[in-house]
């Protein structure tokens, strides 16, 4: 826990989560410094995806959801009074586990959908489409078929389209919930390259089940664990190198070396 908090861009303070009366996540304190990639790892059901969803207020869309604690974006609590969750989600974008392009829209319309859905005015639509698709490194594959339905793309292309769709909103933070879990190794590699390029411009938090992926793409890693029906907690948090090669906690050591989970 030797990371400086002075430059921290996004920061969770004592996040606790409930579903109904069930306490699923306890006292999560994490810092996400600017332009750093943070990987959240841990076995299924430990609450890492739930935690990710608390970071842009998607969590509260689940009817039974409960929450305590705060999430600070540049020092401002996104759960503060008078903060519109819609504005939070514009600044903090999200890529989901399953590619979810809008099936009734073309590739181009999908990219611009975020701007239209959030009611923003824009003039240079074509430029936004090209820039976003280039940043998600899918431009060359789709530049001749921008008018075709987004669902005509392959799964890997759809996921990169969804990343491009988020990028069109120019988010400050990008949350990725196992973005490669449904993809083949080739598409996974391309998305990892994209993540690396994007980290120069934004803060990225990625949930992954793939240890190699966490080591390849992230600067720092948080290991989540929920034991025997207890709420999930962060067992270890530090630089990716430390967590994987010099873990402090024995449970982290077991997990990253594949002994359980």
Partner 1 sequence: MAQVTQALPRPKQAPWQRRNLKNIVLITLASVLPSLLAIAITVAFSIDGAIGLVAVFLPIQILATVAVGQYLYKKRGRQDAVLMIFTIFFSTLVVVLLTSVLVSVFQRGAAMMRLSFISQNATYISSTTSLDYGGLGHAMLGSLAIVGFTTLVTVPLGVGVAIYLTESRSGSRGIVRSLIQSMSGLPSVVSGMFIYSALIVTGVSHQIGLTGSLALIPLMLPTVARVCEEALRLVPGDLRSAALGLGAPSYRMFLQVVLPAARTGIITAVLLGVARVIGETAPLLLTVNAAANTNLNIFDGPIETLPTFLFRNLSYGTDNSIQRAWGAALVVLFLVLIIFTLARTVGGDKKVAKPKKRK
CB 51 within 8 A of CB 67: no
3 state DSSP class of 28: strand
Contact 161, 185 (CB under 8 A): no
Q: Give CA angle at 3 (38, 234), nearest 5°.
A: 55
> Under the criterion CB under 8 A, does residue 131 sit at the interface with partner 1?
no
Report the residue from 11, 48, 59, 89 that binds partner 1 according to the rule CB under 8 A: 89
Distances (CA, A) of 164 to 3, 14, 35, 188, 209: 30, 32, 18, 15, 23
The span of 4-12, 83-91, 186-194, 213-221 binding partner 1 (CB under 8 A) equals 83-91
CB-neighbour burial class of residue 179 (10 A; exposed 0-12, middle 13-18, buried 19+): buried
> What per-residue string of b and e applies to 210-237 under the rule 16 or more CB within 10 Å gives b?
bbebbbbbbbbbbbbbbeeeebbbbbbb
Stretch that binds partner 1, among 112-120, 185-193, 208-216, 251-259 (CB under 8 A): 112-120
Q: How far is the CB of 173 from partner 1 (least distance, A)?
A: 12
Q: Mark residues 185-224: x for contact with partner 1 by CB under 8 A, - for none.
A: ----------------------------------------
Binding partner 1 (rule: CB under 8 A), the pick from 65, 67, 83, 105 is 105
> Shortest gap between Cβ of 161 and partner 1 (angstroms)?
11
**Count of chain residues binding partner 1 (CB under 8 A):** 35
| 126 near partner 1 (CB under 8 A) | no
Q: Which of 5, 7, 80, 86 binds partner 1 (CB under 8 A)?
A: 86
Among residues 39, 52, 58, 163, which is the contact residue for partner 1, using CB under 8 A?
58
- Smallest distance from partner 1 to CB 242, Å: 32
Asked if residue 154 binds partner 1 (CB under 8 A), the reply is no
Among 14, 74, 116, 193, binds partner 1 (CB under 8 A): 116
Near partner 1 by CB under 8 A, which window of 16-24, 39-47, 100-108, 226-234? 100-108
In terms of DSSP bridges, do strands 37-41 and 22-33 run parallel, antiparallel, or are they unpaired? Answer: unpaired
Q: What does the alpha-carbon distance between residue 56 and residue 94 come to, in Å, rounded to a whole number?
A: 8
Query: How far apart, in Å, are the Cα atoms of 6 and each of 10, 52, 67, 171, 188?
Result: 11, 22, 26, 21, 33
3-class SS of residue 32: strand
Nearest of 161, 210, 166, 204 to residue 185 by alpha carbon: 210
Site of interaction with partner 1 (CB under 8 A): 56, 58, 61, 63, 86-87, 89-90, 93-94, 96, 98, 100-106, 109, 113-114, 116-119, 145, 147-149, 152, 162, 165-166, 169
């Amino acid at each position: 826990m030797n990371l400086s908090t002075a430059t921290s861009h996004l920061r969770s303070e004592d996040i606790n989560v409930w579903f109904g009366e069930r306490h699923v996540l306890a006292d999560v304190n994490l810092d996400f410094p600017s332009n750093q990639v943070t990987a959240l790892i841990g076995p299924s059901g430990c609450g890492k995806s739930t935690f990710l969803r608390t970071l842009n207020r998607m969590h509260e869309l689940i009817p039974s959801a409960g929450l305590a604690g705060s999430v600070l974006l540049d020092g401002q609590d996104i759960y503060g009074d008078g903060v519109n969750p819609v504005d939070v989600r514009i600044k903090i974008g999200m890529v989901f586990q399953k590619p979810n392009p809008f099936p009734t829209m073309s590739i181009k319309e999908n990219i611009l959908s975020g701007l239209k859905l959030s009611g923003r005015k824009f003039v240079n639509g074509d430029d936004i489409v090209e820039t976003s698709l280039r940043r998600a490194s899918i431009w060359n594959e789709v530049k001749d078929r921008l008018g075709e339905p987004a669902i005509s793309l392959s799964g890997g292309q759809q996921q990169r389209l969804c990343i491009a769709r988020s990028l069109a909103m120019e988010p400050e933070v990008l949350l990725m919930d196992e973005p490669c879990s449904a993809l083949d190794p080739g598409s996974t590699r391309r998305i990892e390259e994209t993540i690396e390029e994007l980290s120069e411009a934004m803060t990225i938090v990625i949930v992954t089940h793939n240890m190699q992926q966490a080591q390849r793409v992230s600067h720092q890693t948080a290991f989540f664990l929920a034991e025997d029906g207890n709420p999930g907690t962060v067992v270890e948090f530090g630089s990716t190198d430390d967590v994987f090669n010099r873990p402090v906690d024995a449970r982290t050591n077991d997990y990253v070396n594949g002994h359980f989970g």
